[in-house]
Amino acid sequence: DAGVTQSPTHLIKTRGQQVTLRCSPKSGHDTVSWYQQALGQGPQFIFQYYEEEERQRGNFPDRFSGHQFPNYSSELNVNALLLGDSALYLCASSEGWEGQPQHFGDGTRLSIL
Amino acid sequence: QQQVKQSPQSLIVQKGGISIINCAYENTAFDYFPWYQQFPGKGPALLIAIRPDVSEKKEGRFTISFNKSAKQFSLHIMDSQPGDSATYFCAAVKRATSGTYKYIFGTGTRLKVLA
């Protein structure tokens, strides 16, 4: 039974570019949340998707957008990349509207040059 | 902005000792308090969790103690082992207005268990 899978594992971009990160939830899970984890910090909530709609959003600018597909997989898009966007981006999935407990993938390490 | 304050930032324990990590929260409307363990290069993994109507929960060597009146909860790792060396995050989970749940994480504690 595959857990949460994320791709790519590592990514290097330059300032101003755009990036798309992908997430496949754990089998049976329909809710996907995205987090940004800076080095030495806890995960910061970006947004959450359920039934292909963004259900809640953290304190992140509109440069961060997302999408959920009918198969429950999800994408995180970041436009106009800044140096400060360098971080580990984590995807977490859960089952049902209740949303707990969340299971995390191993993340995508995004480096901005 | 709601916060979960976690301490200490780092912790060094001898093998066989007890590791204690503390968290405090600022809002009474939380429904669930999980702890996650994260190894380098990996995502956080759920370790143990507690609901606010319970004062203590134990799973193997891991115990959560919860003090609702003080708005504090802690993780105790008994008989700490070198393999427990990792970063530990507490979290507080609340129901958002949208009906879904929102996780608020602490800043993490880096635990090192000496052999």
Summarize pLDDT for A32-91 with one digit per residue, the tens. Answer: 999 999 988 899 999 999 889 998 899 999 999 999 999 999 999 999 999 999 999 999
Rounded to the nearest angstrom, the minimum Cα separation between A6 and chain B is 10
Over 60: is that where the pLDDT of A101 sits? yes
Residue of B114, B16, B3 whose CA lies nearest to A41 = B3
Residue A74's φ and ψ, nearest 5 degrees, are -145, 155
Residue numbers in A near B107 (CB within 8 A): 41-42
Residue in A45, A100, A106 closest to B32 by CB: A100
Looking at residue A95, what DSSP letter applies? S
Residue numbers in B near A98 (CB within 8 A): 101
Give the DSSP letter string of B76-102: EESS--GGG-EEEEEEEEEE-TTSSEE
Q: What is the mean pLDDT of residues B1-11?
A: 89
Distance CA A20, CA A79 (A): 9
Q: What is the mean pLDDT of residues A4-18?
A: 97
Residue in B43, B89, B100 closest to A105 by CB: B43
- pLDDT tens-digit series, residues B52-106: 889 999 999 999 999 999 999 999 999 999 999 999 999 998 887 766 788 899 9
Distance CA B84, CA B87 (A): 9
Report which residue type is found at B92.
A
- Please tell me the predicted confidence (pLDDT) of residue A98: 60
What's the whole-number average pLDDT of chain B?
92
**Nearest residue of chain A to residue B31 (CA atoms):** A100
Residue B84's φ and ψ, nearest 5 degrees, are -80, -10
Residue numbers in B near A102 (CB within 8 A): 46, 103
Over 90: is that where the pLDDT of B3 sits? no
- Please tell me the predicted confidence (pLDDT) of residue B97: 72
Chain B interface, best mutation among A60, A95, A100, by max B CB count within 10 A = A100
- Residues 6 or more apart whose CB falls under 8 angstroms from that of A21 comprise A6, A7, A8, A11, A75, A76, A77, A78, A89, A91, A108, A110
Over 80: is that where the pLDDT of B27 sits? no
Over 60: is that where the pLDDT of A99 sits? no
The band of B28, judged by pLDDT with boundaries at 50, 70 and 90, is confident
